[in-house]
């Protein structure tokens, strides 16, 4: 019909307008209902969508649940690694869920959020499993369009990207750099869409990065997304192989290296404002 409105995600909207419902309202309600004190999370927090690292830390006695975490939908565990405290939330899968929990973490004192998500290979950069720093994410999901006007990609902070590229110790912790395709529908990864992604030089397909980077861009948050390439979309012989302890040891190495670089960048920024 002639008067039919445009698709809601692509319709004009006021991106500067504040939300009526806020993360502060949600956390305050949860604390009141659960009789929880107001408390801060560690400055560095992690998303572990597959939950492998969460389970490894629990099974090896390295983590404890945070009894003050006020999220209705998740559990936050605390642990220390290489001398640094962390918070970790497992099984945060999909763009809407990831952004909701990310907003809660930042409202609770998080300063850096690291997400390491299992992903499917598009353009081969190595033989799986391997890690890719997601520098840009194709916005084939809905959440990012509530934060940023329509565009093809959202991206990591240029300053974070530059620091990670310049300071990453490749000899100790091999890392690739590239684009991802963020989808809301993992079982609609059709051959034509994969061909399009391949033509764009996209290294991986996952479900959170585009929305997390949109949030970071709008709110000036420090968010770093890694893709752990563990499969070839069902086309390989050893699909979903992650390595020792289901990839947990490799993930801890990625986290420690990221933390080292981020702390060095923070120190340099405070020294030369």
pLDDT, residue 273, reads 53
pLDDT confidence of 267, banded at 50, 70, 90?
confident
- Rounded Cα gap, residues 129 and 238, in angstroms: 10
pLDDT, residue 196, reads 98
Q: What percent of the chain has pLDDT over 90?
A: 89
The answer to whether the predicted template modeling score (pTM) of the entire model surpasses 0.85 is yes
- Rounded Cα gap, residues 211 and 141, in angstroms: 8
How does DSSP classify residue 228? E
DSSP string, 121-190: ESS-SSSSSEEEEEEEEEEESSGGGGTS-S-SEEE--HHHHHHHHHH--TTTS--EEEEEEEES-GGG--
pLDDT, residue 208, reads 98
Which residue do the tokens 């091999």 mark?
A: 174
- Rounded Cα gap, residues 31 and 72, in angstroms: 10
Q: Report residue 198 as tokens.
A: 């391949």
pLDDT, residue 6, reads 86
Domains of the chain in sequence order: 39-271 (3.40.50.1580)
Render pLDDT for 241-264 as a digit per residue (tens, 0 to 9). Answer: 898 899 999 999 999 999 999 999
Asked whether the predicted pLDDT for residue 98 surpasses 60, the reply is yes
- Looking at every residue in the chain, the average pLDDT score rounds to 95
Q: Report residue 204 as tokens.
A: 């991986």
């Amino acid at each position: 019909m002639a008067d039919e409105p445009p698709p809601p995600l692509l319709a004009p909207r006021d991106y500067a307008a504040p939300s009526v419902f806020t993360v502060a309202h949600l956390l305050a309600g949860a604390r009141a209902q659960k009789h929880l004190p107001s408390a801060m999370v560690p400055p560095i927090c992690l998303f572990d969508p597959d939950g492998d690292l969460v389970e490894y830390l629990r099974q090896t006695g390295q983590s404890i649940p945070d009894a003050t975490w006020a999220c209705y939908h998740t559990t936050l565990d605390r642990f220390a690694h290489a001398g640094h405290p962390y918070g970790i939330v497992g099984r945060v899968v999909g763009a809407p869920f990831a952004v909701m929990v990310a907003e809660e973490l930042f409202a609770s004192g998080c300063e850096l959020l690291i997400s390491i998500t299992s992903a499917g290979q598009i353009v081969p950069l190595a033989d799986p499993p391997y890690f890719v720093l997601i520098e840009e994410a194709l916005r084939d999901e809905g959440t990012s369009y509530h934060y940023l006007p329509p565009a093809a990609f959202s991206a990591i902070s240029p300053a974070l990207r530059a620091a990670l590229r310049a300071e990453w110790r490749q000899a100790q912790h091999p890392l690739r750099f590239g684009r991802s395709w963020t989808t809301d529908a993992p079982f609609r990864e059709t051959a034509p869409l994969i061909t399009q992604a391949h033509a764009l030089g996209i290294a991986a397909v996952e479900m959170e990065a585009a929305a997390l980077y949109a949030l970071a861009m709008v709110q000036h948050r420090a968010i770093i997304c890694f893709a752990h390439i563990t499969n070839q979309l069902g086309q390989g012989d050893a699909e979903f192989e992650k390595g020792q302890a289901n990839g947990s040891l490799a993930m801890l190495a990625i986290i420690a290296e990221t933390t080292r670089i981020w702390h060095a960048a923070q120190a340099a920024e405070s020294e030369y404002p």
